[in-house]
Structure 1
Amino acid sequence: MRFTDGRWLMRPGVRPAYPAQVLDAEETTGGLVIHAPSRRITRRGDLLDGPALTVTLGAPLPGVISVRVTHFARPEPGPDFAIEQADPSADAGRLTRAEDGTLLFASGELTARISAPGEAWALDFLADGRRLTGSGAHAMAALETDSGHYLREQLDLGVGHFVYGLGERFGPLVRNGQNVEMWNADGGTGSEQAYKNVPFFLTNAGYGVFVNHPGRVDYEVASEAVSRTQFSVAGHSLEYFLIHGPSPREILARYTALTGRPALPPAWSFGLWLTTSFTTNYDEETVSGIIEEMARRELPLSVFHFDSFWMREHQWCDFQWDTRIFPDPAGMLARLKATGLHISVWINPYIAQRSPLFAEGAAAGYLLKRADGTVWQTDLWQPGMGIVDFTNPAARDWFAGKLDALLEMGVDCFKTDFGERIPTDVVYFDGSDPERMHNYYTHLYNQTVFEVLRKRRGDGEALVFARSATAGSQQFPVHWGGDCEATFESMAESLRGGLSLGMSGFGFWSHDIGGFEGTPSPALFKRWIAFGLLSSHSRLHGSRSYRVPWLFDEESVDVLRYFTGLKAQLMPYLYAAADQAVHSGVPLMRAMVLEFPDDPACAHLDRQYLLGDDLLVAPVFTEDGEVSYYVPAGTWTHVLTGERVQGPGWVREQHGFQSLPLLARPGSVIAVGSETQRPDYDYADGVTLRIFELPDGANVTTRIVAADGTTAAVFTTTREGHTVTVEASDAPAHWKIQLSGVEHASADGATVTQDRLGLIAEPTGRVVAFQLEGESES
């Protein structure tokens, strides 16, 4: 929301009050309370009248400082984000005073510096001896307007400082110059609206900011004030957390420590998902025929998803199979699961009036109500539908019970669609504020579903496939990008959305391969397959047409088989990266700037990404296969061909449909599995360690994470001069080593062969030592 009219004036009807100076400061347990009048105090008469702001500093975690700005002290209605608080013994919340009276409030290595009492207002954040950002003159404000009362903060942006995140946004990755509203909406992937609004951004300047407000937050990022990031909320209080890194990865680690980290998705969920699509005609014979044809063509399938019409029309949701087309649902699920498939079904939190559950939920008070006590209803989406009130514990149990019956039948997970179209003219069971609940509703919805899965299936097996989200919802993976179109442009905007969501603390993300709306051309479908199978999770899904490859062309079958097999082989590497996301908050799919914040060429890159620590992926967004991408410093290696690419610099290449730029980072050791037909297997047995351009002095630890989340094996790879040594702890019975690009080497403790990608060694014990020949060898 904009309040100013250029540099000097305010917009009509806007009356601002800025903190002018520090009147006094009071230290509390782990905090600091500052009183800041909106005028300079030069005589006693200036102490009369207001307004004045109360600024409270806290230290929820080391390296994080909270700032709460209050005008009128009024109770804040719920809901509230769940925020992790520091142990009282942690290195946080220390107050000191400089000789000139300046107040210094420290949390770990981060310090808030506040001007001395009597001096002009200034709030600066410092770390490692430098100023990160700050709130100076006419930045923080209480604003009385003709439409209501607001609180605003503006933080300085330095030259070359960029802002990222704020949820899954489909425009340019860098937020500078944009107005962004935190308001979940069902707007597709081609507009300024977003399904997943997250009031958190990070910068390349060593800090991130989380606004602790679940409702509407308006951002003006280097737009209204072009050298500041502005955020504002309606009401009389605003709280934000300044989070130090200094690296983007460390910022994400601290932010997700505050708001929650994802559970580890089950290994089977990383395989290929295939759906009925949305409005296609299908029955059990259609489903069985598709699955049988996939098997006949040797196309590995992990999950089959039944979309909306598994239930009868105009009855979504009643959680009952439409027996006109699925006469024996329990038997059908048993037959499908006997083939090794996992089953997903579509749900949403809306209850159509025709559903038997509508009357049941209305009578029990489980649906959202209007102020007059009647059930809130609409015809948008389902005739006469109501919405489940997840603030009512009994309603949550009721909803979960319906899902539990499906799990008992054999369903494994749920696609939790919708959750964005939540009205504000309603009354919640627990008295929550409807405006604050609009975005937060999806958190309660997905949490309810996730918890019933965890209770029934156990830790490590719970999984949703969610469209809407807010801060903290990363705890309930997986999320997908929503309704994209079958175009190359929409494929690119989907990637931008996924990278932005990753910069907002979400570890796992997917998208509809081929696009949801419309039917892709064979070329687009094949290019999207490559992108989709090198994403966190991979789903073939559409709206009005099936996404089985033989309906496009025979080459699509080959492309799908190839990339599904490739992802299965990469599972030892990918599952370790997934485990890293669980423990550090760093996403599986990463914008380049997240990994290379000091490389200015990476600041705006949004058509390529890192998959885990060490694989660079550049999807092809053209029919003819031409692709341009950037390679950071060092010698990178094409994983599929073994060709080397020297960075830093831009590369232009031509790729066929069974190829794309997939490059290994110099100095990396990538674990490749022995299985091409399924994602869940013993990752240690038969694993190959592919070693790329290991520099002298390197020491690389490679952990193999088993499908149950435990450690299956650990390998340590070192290089000293011309000697490369690989040592395994708890060595598997069968494992291999490949030195990429190496043609000549002897090995102690292994038999050596050669293929087009490099030297291959099969160890006879736990330790292998290679003697490289020639200075040019890796």
Structure 2
Amino acid sequence: MTQDTQINRHQLGRLIGASKCDHFYELHYATGEIARLYILADGTFRLFIDPDKKFDENHSGLVNLSKFNNHFFEKSSPRATSESFIIQSGSFQLIFEQKTATMSIFDESLHRTRFSQLSPIELGSNQTIESLKQNKNEFYFGGGIQNGSFSHKGKRIYIKRDGITGAGGVLSQIPFFWSNAGFGEFRNTNQAGEYDFGKINENAALIKHEDRIFDNFYLIGNSPSDLIYKYYLLTGLPLMPPKYALDLGHMGNFLTTLWKPSEAKERNATMFEDGNYYARTKDPNESSGKASLNGEEEYQFSARGAIDRYQKFHFPLGWLVPNYGISDLEEEALTNFNDYANTHGVEVGIWVKNNLSSLPKSISFIATATDNIAQLQKDTDSLKVNLNRKRPFIISNSGSVGSQAYSALAFGTAGGNWDNIGTQVASLLGAGLSGETLVGGSVDGTTGGGNAQIAIRDFEWKAFTPLLFNINDQSKFSKTPFAYNSKMSNINHAYFALRQQLKPYLYTLIYGTQKGHPFVQPLFMDFPHEQVNYTEQVGHEFMLGSSILVAPITNGREDSNGNSRKDNLYLPGHRTMWIDLFTGEKYIGGRVYNKLSYPIWHLPVFVRGGAIFDLGKRNFVLYPQAKSSISFYDDNGYTDFTHNHTETRVTSDLNSSKLTITIDPVKGDYSGMETNSTTNLNIMCDAYPDRVTVKINDQLINLQEYGTSDAFAHAKEGFFYNTNYSWMPEFDQYREAKQTALQIKLGSRDVTDTKFEIIIQNFNYGSQTLVHSITDSVLRSPKGISLDPAKITAHSLSVSWTKMTDQVQFEINGILYDGIDGDKFTFHELEPNKRYVMRMRYVAGNKVSGWSEPFGAITKHAAIDYAIRNVQTTCNYAENPAHPIKYLTDLKLASEWKTKDQFDENKPLTLTFAFEDVEKLSRMAFIPRNIDRQGTPVEVGIEISTDGQNFKPYGEHINWKADAKNKVIGLRDVSAKAIRMTVYKSSGPLVAGKEVLFFRAKDKD
């Protein structure tokens, strides 16, 4: 046993006794602790150590144990050896070592250990630590929304919500993580935690919580979905929302927002129905209009006016929150507004900050700032009374254990920022892997904005996420999808229309969440055998179910034509064909594509070979490859879905050149279901097939072929080979080449009692795409490759070579990189301080040379690695409680410090930064807030202290511009224990900043 007397923490001592009780095993340790081991289900175990020996099984209130019985515990059997105490539960052995006091779980069905503790559990007066063995190829996920990160190997994450919406922030406190080794842990506590997955020791994962009770659930599963589903069994299945939740939403403040006259040239100006431009203002003296619900003030600024405006621009709303950020509501006005909204197909919700004594009867859902389970349950019950058996819907801007059962998670961040797109993609991936699957980020954020290109790119990819909505009136810029010119609005409308077409597919994905499948998925869910899919390298792309891959544009890099430049796009599966959704261009998987070019209308979206979509009313689109199948689920959108839904299974089997498509009879029913329906198939293909055979309930039917699209359009049944096919007409204005499809119409039949089988001979789709390259001995292997040391950065490497062919390929750390031409290339988006081993070969058509000799380099450390940590900061001005002074030195560029009171030049502001030790510095950097230019220091003075008490001026006063550029002060050869910065002038009424960084001097070799 080891003991740390300084922090009053000790390890469990030797295991000295064990016994089977009525519904748990009891374990006794030499240090006096007693542990209880519960077996709740197959592969679900609970280890409970209470130093006070009270063992309140419901102490946290997080887990509903009533759904578990004693069955699996009773079937378990114990045995003891000279070295351990072993509990057999099904195919699992729970092994408790006597001398080392460690636990492991061995899976007999796989003949391997699922997880094992590295050392005994450590217990303290207010802390517990579990140390786990970490394998080389083991990756970790979960922990809630860790902004900008979904894969945590080699990192430290914090299980403590901080409200920071950008990179490095934590939006939800979920003490649940899991490993691709096939186990997960859920710590049954409300206290903060810190999980170190190899940052300190690459062979260990350290799981720490600020709780003296160790209460942990161990989950064993054969897939990520198994593990997430078992977490749901403990904390609640995710909310099944009403169908309108998938529609476009708007949250705004139509109670207190003021408008002033403006001009078209102003970036934040909005044109209203009277033909004039207006901008938001907080000054009543300059306002000329005020928002309202029903036009009580001025109709064009009202919530009713907003509904009309969305319809005018062909973006009909599905739901609206008219009082975002404002608690007070006049119920009669709300009822009148709700009546108007309902006649336009819009569901109305209210934003709730504090508990309501009663819920207005006219509302359909709630938007809230709470994730308190008791309050969410109360709100859910109130909604059920209002809605008369219709499904309740709650949107929250934060999450916690179990909140997924009652609410969707919708948050906003700063708009107009490229970095936030990539951050949010990874955040949504992490949310789904933590059990928070119904989640979304507001389009173009809540604050900031004003960059049309970023706003458009943000809308495009978010059209493929669970929730599509904007939060308006919190910024000076409008966030609606028609806020910019008609060209931009048309692009947004095309993606909005596409989302509406995909709604049956999206709704089916929501059904899948009930079984543990995230809505937004990482690549490894469908391609688990490729290690790259578990890493942050692919953290900026995601799978929407199993059929669609989305790779958002995450930066402003452009090619010579002004189109977005996309590098480092990975398409998984070397035997998988990927089809560009909009152009039909085909790509082979298993490689990284570079130098791709995307105009502003074109989001990189790829359909997986074998995909099947239902565009609604049994209008199917198929992209045949090998054998694939999908079950589409449907219901009436608002009542009980568990017992009132349908399942339609469609299978596609392309074997050699024979394609067989099967549509099984529809299972189940629901109120309002139409049993008789036509069936349409649109089958993507490359060439005219030989023969089309259709069987209905195993009976052959004659199907006529039509030669023109007009004749086929008027036919009740038949087929047509369409060389000008498009199932996304809104995008036709942007693209020239149409795609080719075989279209089949089948007349109206009772789909609950009809099986369809379609057989197509001599069918070809993408066969040439899957042909792999041939090594040509005539092509010499590359030599004379040069890697420029001067251009090695933390995130990029530049390579040049002798040009022999137009195209070349690279292999980097075992992954093939394609789409590279010319005689030089810079690889971007690399990881800092990582070794990259490369080979290169020439490409000529489908022929390639042999590989070059390996070469490579190590990227540089990121600048942040040299920044001093744990800087203590004080200020003579009070802090804004939502933006505390600690945010100024937390090394998170997404956080922001603000003063509470207005800045007075007669009272200079002083910031004192104290280091733990005397530091030899190189420079300091002040990072201004980039939402606006308000609050940036524009005249400062610097003082140095070597003892933390006495300060001496460092140079003269420094003048800064009030812009978004970092403000750097050279401190070469300066040693300091503390630094004081005095602000004499500010660009606004307050003083604010994102970060102050102090960099150590680099050691010279």
Question: TM-score, structure 2 length as denominator?
Answer: 0.61
Provide the residue aligned with 2:470 in structure 1: 540
Structure 2 contact 131–206 (Cα < 8 Å) conserved: yes
Identity of aligned residues (%): 15
Provide the residue aligned with 1:564 in structure 2: 496
Structure 1 contact 181–217 (Cα < 8 Å) conserved: yes
Provide the residue aligned with 1:706 in structure 2: 635
| Among 620, 623, 626, the residue aligned to 2:565 | 626
Structure 2 contact 323–351 (Cα < 8 Å) conserved: yes
Structure 1 contact 204–597 (Cα < 8 Å) conserved: no
In the TM superposition, residue 499 of structure 1 has moved relative to its aligned partner by 1.3
Higher strand share: 2
Where do residues 136-535 of structure 1 align in structure 2 (5 Å cutoff)?
136-137=118-119, 139-143=120-124, 148-192=125-169, 194-276=170-252, 280-281=257-258, 282-283=291-292, 284=295, 285=299, 286=301, 287-308=303-324, 311=326, 316=327, 318-320=328-330, 328-349=333-354, 399=356, 401-403=357-359, 406=360, 408=361, 410-417=362-369, 419=370, 442-459=372-389, 461-535=391-465
Residues of 2 paired with 1:556 and 1:461: CA distance?
A: 35
Deviations 1:652-707 (A, max 9, x none): 3222233212222232322222xxxxxxxxxxx2x322222331xx3624323123
1:630 partner amino acid: Y
2:636 partner amino acid: A
Residues of 1 paired with 2:47 and 2:368: CA distance?
A: 35
In the TM superposition, residue 104 of structure 1 has moved relative to its aligned partner by 2.2
Deviations 1:583-624 (A, max 9, x none): x12221112233333211111221111112322111112344
| Residue 693 of structure 1 pairs with residue 611 of structure 2 | no
Figure out how many residues of one structure are paired with residues of the other and give that number.
649
In the TM superposition, residue 511 of structure 1 has moved relative to its aligned partner by 0.8
| Residue 672 of structure 1 pairs with residue 603 of structure 2 | no
Note closer, same or farther for the CA distance 1:256–1:338 as it changes in structure 2 (3 Å cut). Answer: same
In the TM superposition, residue 648 of structure 1 has moved relative to its aligned partner by 0.8
Provide the residue aligned with 2:685 in structure 1: 741
In the TM superposition, residue 757 of structure 1 has moved relative to its aligned partner by 4.3
Residues of 2 paired with 1:707 and 1:613: CA distance?
A: 24
Residues of 1 paired with 2:740 and 2:764: CA distance?
A: 19
Secondary structure of the residue aligned to 1:131 is strand
Residues of 1 paired with 2:363 and 2:487: CA distance?
A: 33
Secondary structure of the residue aligned to 1:642 is coil
Secondary structure of the residue aligned to 1:136 is strand
| Among 69, 76, 81, the residue aligned to 1:87 | 69
Residues of 1 paired with 2:379 and 2:222: CA distance?
A: 36
In the TM superposition, residue 639 of structure 1 has moved relative to its aligned partner by 2.5
Structure 2 contact 40–72 (Cα < 8 Å) conserved: no
Residues of 2 paired with 1:563 and 1:124: CA distance?
A: 50
Provide the residue aligned with 1:578 in structure 2: 510
Note closer, same or farther for the CA distance 1:156–1:482 as it changes in structure 2 (3 Å cut). Answer: farther
Note closer, same or farther for the CA distance 1:93–1:17 as it changes in structure 2 (3 Å cut). Answer: farther
Deviations 1:281-322 (A, max 9, x none): 32232133332222222223211221336x5xxxx3x4436x
Task: Determine which structure has greater relative contact order: mean sequence separation of CA pairs < 8 Å that are 6+ residues apart, divided by chain length.
Answer: 1
Deviations 1:251-284 (A, max 9, x none): 1111112211113111111010123259743223
In the TM superposition, residue 83 of structure 1 has moved relative to its aligned partner by 3.1
Question: Which protein has the larger Cα radius of gyration, Structure 1 or Structure 2?
Answer: 2
Deviations 1:63-93 (A, max 9, x none): 1121122333246695421234533334776
Provide the residue aligned with 2:278 in structure 1: none
| Residue 29 of structure 1 pairs with residue 22 of structure 2 | yes
Secondary structure of the residue aligned to 1:446 is helix
Note closer, same or farther for the CA distance 1:297–1:702 as it changes in structure 2 (3 Å cut). Answer: same
Secondary structure of the residue aligned to 2:583 is coil
Residues of 1 paired with 2:629 and 2:153: CA distance?
A: 37
Provide the residue aligned with 1:639 in structure 2: 581
Structure 1 contact 416–446 (Cα < 8 Å) conserved: no
| Residue 726 of structure 1 pairs with residue 662 of structure 2 | yes
In the TM superposition, residue 210 of structure 1 has moved relative to its aligned partner by 0.4
Deviations 1:429-476 (A, max 9, x none): xxxxxxxxxxxx622222222221123225552111101221111101
Note closer, same or farther for the CA distance 1:509–1:568 as it changes in structure 2 (3 Å cut). Answer: same
| Residue 649 of structure 1 pairs with residue 654 of structure 2 | no
Structure 1 contact 667–693 (Cα < 8 Å) conserved: yes
Where do residues 11-160 of structure 1 align in structure 2 (5 Å cutoff)?
13-37=6-30, 51-74=31-54, 78-84=59-65, 85-90=67-72, 94-97=76-79, 100=82, 102-115=84-97, 117=98, 119-127=99-107, 128-137=110-119, 139-143=120-124, 148-160=125-137
Secondary structure of the residue aligned to 1:739 is strand
Deviates most, 746-755 or 243-252: 746-755
Note closer, same or farther for the CA distance 1:57–1:448 as it changes in structure 2 (3 Å cut). Answer: same
| Among 697, 709, 719, the residue aligned to 1:752 | 719
1:253 partner amino acid: Y
In the TM superposition, residue 113 of structure 1 has moved relative to its aligned partner by 1.0
Residues of 1 paired with 2:459 and 2:654: CA distance?
A: 41
Provide the residue aligned with 1:663 in structure 2: 606
Residues of 1 paired with 2:207 and 2:437: CA distance?
A: 25
Note closer, same or farther for the CA distance 1:78–1:35 as it changes in structure 2 (3 Å cut). Answer: closer
Note closer, same or farther for the CA distance 1:458–1:238 as it changes in structure 2 (3 Å cut). Answer: farther
In the TM superposition, residue 343 of structure 1 has moved relative to its aligned partner by 1.1
Deviations 1:490-512 (A, max 9, x none): 12222222211111112211111
Residues of 2 paired with 1:481 and 1:734: CA distance?
A: 41
Residues of 2 paired with 1:777 and 1:491: CA distance?
A: 32
Residues of 1 paired with 2:508 and 2:73: CA distance?
A: 31
Provide the residue aligned with 1:438 in structure 2: none
Structure 1 contact 714–728 (Cα < 8 Å) conserved: yes
Deviates most, 606-615 or 505-514: 606-615
Residues of 2 paired with 1:559 and 1:546: CA distance?
A: 17
In the TM superposition, residue 140 of structure 1 has moved relative to its aligned partner by 1.0
Residues of 1 paired with 2:77 and 2:437: CA distance?
A: 35
Higher helix share: 1
Note closer, same or farther for the CA distance 1:637–1:666 as it changes in structure 2 (3 Å cut). Answer: same
Note closer, same or farther for the CA distance 1:762–1:306 as it changes in structure 2 (3 Å cut). Answer: same
Deviations 1:395-436 (A, max 9, x none): xxxx3x521xx2x2x22111112x3xxxxxxxxxxxxxxxxx
In the TM superposition, residue 98 of structure 1 has moved relative to its aligned partner by 6.0
Provide the residue aligned with 1:550 in structure 2: 482
In the TM superposition, residue 12 of structure 1 has moved relative to its aligned partner by 7.9
Residues of 1 paired with 2:89 and 2:388: CA distance?
A: 37
Deviations 1:365-419 (A, max 9, x none): xxxxxxxxxxxxxxxxxxxxxxx5xxxxxxxxxx3x521xx2x2x22111112x3
Residues of 1 paired with 2:48 and 2:155: CA distance?
A: 25
| Among 608, 616, 621, the residue aligned to 2:549 | 616
Residues of 2 paired with 1:649 and 1:92: CA distance?
A: 51
Secondary structure of the residue aligned to 1:598 is coil
Secondary structure of the residue aligned to 1:549 is coil
Residues of 2 paired with 1:615 and 1:693: CA distance?
A: 14
